[in-house]
Structure 1
Amino acid sequence: MSKIPFIFSIVFILFSLFINILGLMKLYPIYFTSPLLFFSLFLLIALLNNQRRFKGFK
């Protein structure tokens, strides 16, 4: 597995966390920032979960 999607998801989480902090300070709407943070965490978990999946015997 290449490290590019993993690094991209970490950067996306950090960006989403920063935007969410701005949302908590009421600079951005919180109903926009919370799903963005949830989606970024979901993307990382899905990426980490998919790499050790049993793909069957060939």
Structure 2
Amino acid sequence: MLLWAVATACVINGDTMTGVLCQATWLVVAVIMLIVVQVIAMRLPQPRVKPVAEPDTNG
């Protein structure tokens, strides 16, 4: 059913199946890269010292 829907969408939009597969491939690559960046960011060391609150100078 999914392949039929993709083929119908290609006919309606005038795209080729190769173009759709190319776009889907780049989408998967981009999503994988975002996941890798998130995993690396979670593993980076976090600062252990809390910043010192500056005094209020408003009056």
**Could you state the TM-score of these two structures normalised by the residue count of structure 1?**
0.46
Return the index of the structure with the highest Cα Rg. 2
